């Protein structure tokens, strides 16, 4: 066996991975910035109170925000390159995250409805993001798996 056929270049896999790398779109960077601001606003809870209960409340409010970011970015990474409308839907989801942050800063005990409305808005946008490729017949997942993923 020759060294060429065995893949003589130890960087062969690295070179191949680098050739498939793509730069982030502007809306992805803006979306990340929105979530940084949302997390900063949420962390304001800890500025006022560093008790154990406040830290637990912060983590409980942070988790839905973080999970939203993960879901939207995974969906964008799966379908964004082949469906340009996915980028528009990512932007459409941003007001939901903003509503969640506003609810936290206004006092979640008084604005829980706004937090829930923001979370519902994002889940609806996420549903549409998964239905776009399905409607065009290019989705590698079944629609029932998609609905299961959106649940939680």
**Domains in the chain: boundaries:** 23-151
pTM: 0.70
Q: What is the DSSP string of the chain?
A: --TTTTT--TTHHHHHHHHH--PPPHHHHHHHHHHHHHHHHHHHHHHH--SHHHHHHHHHHHHHHHHHHHHHHHHHHHHTTT-THHHHHHHHHHHHHHHHHHHHHHHHHHHHHHHHHHHHHHHHHHHHHHHHHHHTT--SS-HHHHHHHHH-
80-107 residue pLDDT tens: 777 788 888 988 999 998 899 889 888 8
28-41 residue pLDDT tens: 888 888 888 888 88
């Amino acid at each position: 066996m020759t060294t060429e056929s065995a893949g003589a270049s130890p960087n062969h896999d690295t070179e191949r991975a680098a050739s498939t790398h793509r730069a982030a779109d502007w809306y992805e960077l803006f979306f990340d910035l929105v979530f940084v601001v949302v997390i900063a606003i949420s962390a304001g809870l800890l500025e006022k109170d560093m008790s154990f209960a406040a830290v637990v409340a912060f983590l409980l409010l942070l988790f839905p925000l973080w999970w939203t970011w993960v879901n939207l970015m995974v969906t964008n990474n799966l379908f964004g390159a082949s469906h340009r409308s996915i980028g528009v839907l990512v932007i459409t989801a941003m007001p939901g995250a903003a509503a969640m942050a506003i609810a936290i800063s206004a006092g979640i005990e008084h604005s829980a409805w706004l937090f829930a409305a923001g979370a519902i808005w994002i889940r609806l946008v996420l549903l549409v993001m998964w239905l776009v490729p399905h409607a065009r017949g290019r989705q590698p997942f079944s629609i029932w798996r998609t609905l299961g993923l959106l649940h939680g």
